[in-house]
Amino acid sequence: MTHRIVIVGGGAGGLELATRLGNSLGKRGKAQITLIDANLTHIWKPLLHEVAAGSLNTSDDELNYLAQAKWNHFEFQLGRMCGLDREAKSVQLEALQDENGNELVASRSISYDSLVIAVGSTTNDFGTPGAKDNCIFLDTRAQAERFHRKLLRHYMRSHAQQDTQQSIKVAIIGAGATGVELSAELHHAARELKAYGFKGIEPEDLRITLVEASPRVLPALPDRIAGPVTATLRRLGVTVLTGSAVSEVTPEGLKLQNGQEIPATIKVWAAGIRAPRFLAGIGGLESNRLNQLMVKPTLQTTLDEHIYALGDCAACALHDNPERFVPPRAQAAHQMASLLAKSFKAKLAGKALPEFRYRDYGSLISLSSFSAVGNLMGNLTGDVMLEGRMARWFYVSLYRLHQAALFGWFRTLLLMASDRLGRSTEPRLKLH
């Protein structure tokens, strides 16, 4: 019987793994590959801040799972995982409903011989009062598009009442990569909206406050990156508040633990991550306080050798520091997907599974069209600081590498040419 590999989650890691396995094992009939996701299309999660600001039109950059499956010899199933039966080796999926709540497909189960859980992460609001009800999160395309629509509505209203000067106050909680990049992208969007004729709100009237509980922005990255980023944000007019923990979010704004209140029309929570709640103890598997599944160096879960986890939802100890875990980054998910593609070939051949060793190739932060900052790490380059146009070029290349993993280099080059041609016929900002 053909070995059944089921992958739950079509994010960067899960989709890359399904594509690799489909083109190696699936194409040759050595395994049956099934990818499950709750959406019909994929967009690279690091781009969601651009979707929110309107700099990226999702209809141009989204990938259709069904088409990708057809081209790469795997099967796609639309569904959301809600349970796991380890004894029966099956994944339970929720019933599918339409926009009116009518059931389209009843709840069902999908059997596996090997299961890979790659459901990523969601934003962690740490139980802050009012955060869930009053903040927009940027975990999904739908949430990013909701932010964009809300921002545009303010501009449309002001444009229709041109005799009234208005302002928009945006508060972003969390000065990690998402919060920092969104701040800069929104400032760029304000300039573009002005250029397209929106009146009533000048670029300086989009008042952005970036709030971070840690002593500096980008707390997970080196100090030498945080310094230039902070200087650029402040030069753009972004108010940066560090060492400022949020105690409550209200419809009117933020309340900080130091007693300060920040008025805000739009609130975005971009601080912290955790794996989806349903993973906590699912099927009796071992998980940590962030709902991540504990895995061995082979990426097999600690209590079931037939179940693997990769990406943000996996708690994998660093090989050189077992007290710390692999950071939740796109490059880690990519490396894990590459390892598991080799692992399943070895497994079907009866060979020992390779162990995962995370290699940090550095970090890059985009400040929209204004700048980019980061460091590259490698055996040949050492630790090299990048800033400006060169850093921006490397930042863009990360997305192209993701596309190459999914489409191959020839089609990726065609996509690059298409993107360049499209710039001359489309607005630089999504205006709807």
Q: Is 291 inside a domain boundary?
A: yes
pLDDT of residue 7: 98
Residue 380 confidence (pLDDT) above 60:
no
Which of 12-21, 74-83, 380-389, 416-425 is least confident? Answer: 380-389
Residue 85 confidence (pLDDT) above 90:
yes
Query: Domain containing 43 — which CATH number?
Result: 3.50.50.60
**Residue carrying structure tokens 């909680």:** 173
Task: Enumerate residues 6+ apart whose C-beta is below 8 A from 379.
Answer: none
Q: Are 95 and 82 in contact (CB under 8 A)?
A: no
Q: Is 410 inside a domain boundary?
A: yes
Of 271, 288, 308, the position where a domain reaches its end is 271
Token readout for 225 is: 């990156």
Q: Are 63 and 406 in contact (CB under 8 A)?
A: yes
Token readout for 28 is: 């040759």
- DSSP sequence for 224-268: HHHHHHHHHHHHTT-EEE-S--EEEEETTEEEETTS-EEE-SEEE
Q: What's the pLDDT band for 171 if we cut at 50, 70, 90?
A: very high
How far is the C-alpha of 132 from the C-alpha of 226, rounded, in Å?
28
Picking from 116, 113, 108, 27, the residue whose alpha carbon sits closest to that of residue 69 is: 27
Whole-angstrom CA distances from 76 to 10, 70, 345, 349 are 10, 9, 21, 25
Q: Are residues 82 and 149 in the same domain?
A: no
Token readout for 152 is: 């545009």
Q: Are residues 287 and 339 in the same domain?
A: yes
Q: Are residues 316 and 407 in the same domain?
A: no
Residue 35 identity: L
Q: Is 232 inside a domain boundary?
A: yes
Residue 369 confidence (pLDDT) above 80:
no
Token readout for 117 is: 């859980």
Residue 378 confidence (pLDDT) above 60:
no
Q: How many CB atoms lie within 10 A of CB 396?
A: 13
Q: How many CB atoms lie within 10 A of CB 75?
A: 17
Which of 2-6, 90-94, 197-201, 381-385 is least confident? Answer: 381-385
pLDDT of residue 423: 67
How far is the C-alpha of 232 from the C-alpha of 371, rounded, in Å?
8
Q: Is 398 inside a domain boundary?
A: yes
Of 246, 271, 296, the position where a domain reaches its end is 271
Q: Are residues 325 and 411 in the same domain?
A: no
Q: Are residues 168 and 253 in the same domain?
A: yes
- Percentages of the chain per state (helix, strand, coil), in multiples of 5: 35, 30, 35
Task: Enumerate residues 6+ apart whose C-beta is below 8 A from 53.
Answer: 148, 151, 182, 185, 186, 188, 189, 368, 429
How far is the C-alpha of 48 from the C-alpha of 427, rounded, in Å?
19
Q: Are residues 279 and 267 in the same domain?
A: no
Give per-residue pLDDT as tens, 210-223.
999 999 999 988 88
Of 13-22, 197-206, 401-410, where does the model show the most confidence? 13-22
Percent of the chain having pLDDT more than 90? Answer: 67
Of 236, 251, 271, the position where a domain reaches its end is 271
Q: What is the mean pLDDT of the chain?
A: 90
Q: Is 428 inside a domain boundary?
A: no
Task: Report the domain count for the chain.
Answer: 3
Q: Are residues 142 and 263 in the same domain?
A: yes
Mean pLDDT of 99-114: 90
Q: Are residues 267 and 135 in the same domain?
A: yes
Q: Is 430 inside a domain boundary?
A: no
Percent of the chain having pLDDT more than 70? Answer: 96
Residue 382 confidence (pLDDT) above 60:
no
Mean pLDDT of 93-101: 86
Q: Are residues 116 and 25 in the same domain?
A: yes
Residue 311 confidence (pLDDT) above 50:
yes
Residue 385 confidence (pLDDT) above 80:
no
Q: Are residues 375 and 392 in the same domain?
A: yes
Q: Is 427 inside a domain boundary?
A: no
Q: Are residues 135 and 247 in the same domain?
A: yes
Q: What's the pLDDT band for 383 if we cut at 50, 70, 90?
A: low
How far is the C-alpha of 204 from the C-alpha of 237, rounded, in Å?
7
Q: Determine the structural domain holding residue 73 and report its residue range.
A: 3-121+275-348
Q: Are residues 136 and 254 in the same domain?
A: yes
Q: Does residue 301 or residue 55 have the better pLDDT?
A: 301
Q: Is 180 inside a domain boundary?
A: yes
Residue 183 confidence (pLDDT) above 90:
yes
